[in-house]
Chains A and B, each alone.
Chain A
Amino acid sequence: MDLPRVSATEHLILELLSAEEMFGLQLVARSRGALKRGTVYVTLGRMQDKGYVSSRTEKPPAGAIGLPRRLYRPTAYGLRVLEAWDAAARTLARPPKLQHA
């Protein structure tokens, strides 16, 4: 069985999106420099392919011009992957129990 892989960038995006739906630019702003504007959209596209996030186009307000913006949210699968990786990180961070004879 192939376990899903999550890069540090994807983990951060899932963490940020678990709080609320966001635009790509909002993710960059909330990450305080950890996410770069040029790469966040490519990463989000890849995460959609993996099934970690889904997106929808924003309903543009009346009179709006330009392309409609895209809002991102984690999928249930993406949240499970995030939870599993966080649990693994917590488990590995604990000091190993010494085995007494």
Chain B
Amino acid sequence: MMIPGRALHRLAARICRAKTIERVVEPAIADLQREYLDARAEPAWRRGWVLLAGYVAVSKVLVLSLAEPTLLSSDDRGALGRTLFAAGVLMVAFSGLLIAFPVARFPQFIRASHVAFLIPQALPLSIPLAVTLGIAYGFTGRSVSSRAVKIAIVLALVGSVASLGTTLWIMPTANQAFRQEMFIALGNEGTVMKGSTEMSLAELRLDVAAARARWDLQRAREGEWSYHIRWALPWATLVLVLFAFASGRCLTTWHGWMAMGTCVIYFVLLHLGEALVYRWNAPPFLGPWLPNGAFVLAGIALRRRA
């Protein structure tokens, strides 16, 4: 039986003091585990929500525990403060740009409430960009401790977990809600059919199986791509941040243009992965995971070289 929180417990053992683990981290994980066990009889979406809320809370506990003021120098606090500020501003800016595209398609029908439906589809792309560039802005040229680096990595982990929750549960529902609103606004009646980005994971699996059964391989590929990208893309935040620290080692050599270049390369590799899946019939999991795998291997190679 799955018991949540074990990975976070192991992470906490590596980055927190024993007293903090006993007094702060373990109570949070214990409550998460009990809440999840109590939700066993609930529907899957409710269990998923319990898990997401619990993981976000425990991740926040880890970040707050690490950022105890007495253990961080003013340089560390400055670097982390600048990182959080820059990442927040950039996330809003990138999300705004990504929301602008669908708004531009239906400008006469868009209301303020529709914008809320568009935010989840922007986050999996805006979070990795914002966090990677934010860390370049916050850490470059400053002497920081390994503790501050660990906190930044935990922040990236929180970003990835939040993004994963969004792609798996929130984004499909929000996308479908937006499409339904536009469908009705265009004078149609009834319910708009779901595309692959609007289906839940279970619906996607069924759709792919049905497409394969009737030899609709294009539809099957689209469904498989959509399924795997939802699992792979959220980890871009953590992968890019780990790569940044591995390549910089001391991040003083990392600049904003290097961070932007890294993000561009990530998305180029993602498009390459898409081409591999759609044009060259590569296994469907390979395309979405290609950039993550490439950056993990590159990071390991750079660390060994350093």
In whole angstroms, what is the CA distance A25 to B25 when docked? 13
In whole angstroms, what is the CA distance A10 to B279 when docked? 60
Known: A42-B61, A42-B64. A48 touches B27 (CB 8 A): no
B240 CB to nearest A CB, Å: 24
B interface, by DSSP: helix, strand, loop or mixed?
A: helix
* B95 beta carbon closer than 8 Å to chain A: no
- Indicate the member of B9, B24, B25, B64 with the most A CB atoms within 10 Å: B24
Q: Is the CB of A67 within 8 A of B26?
A: yes
In whole angstroms, what is the CA distance A66 to B53 when docked? 18
Tell me which of A33-41, A77-85, A89-97 binds B.
Answer: A33-41
Smallest CB gap from A37: residue in B: B57
In whole angstroms, what is the CA distance A50 to B9 when docked? 25
Residues of A within 8 A of B (CB): 23-25, 37-39, 41-42, 44-45, 48, 55, 65-70
Which residues of the other chain, A, contact B31 by a CB distance below 8 angstroms?
23-25, 69
* B65 beta carbon closer than 8 Å to chain A: yes
Question: 5 A-B contacts, Cβ less than 8 Å apart?
Answer: A38-B56, A38-B59, A67-B9, A68-B30, A70-B26
Which residues of the other chain, B, contact A37 by a CB distance below 8 angstroms?
53, 57, 60
B239 CB to nearest A CB, Å: 24
In whole angstroms, what is the CA distance A24 to B30 when docked? 10
Known: A25-B35, A37-B57, A45-B24. A67 touches B64 (CB 8 A): no
- Indicate the member of B9, B28, B64 with the most A CB atoms within 10 Å: B28
Q: Is the CB of A38 within 8 A of B61?
A: yes
Please provide the chain B residues from 91 to 131 with a CB less than 8 Å away from any CB of chain A in the complex. none
Q: Is the CB of B1 within 8 A of A65?
A: yes
- Indicate the member of A25, A38, A65, A70 with the most B CB atoms within 10 Å: A38
Q: Is the CB of B57 within 8 A of A38?
A: yes
The listed residue (B20, B30, B35, B60) touching A67 by CB distance below 8 A is: B30
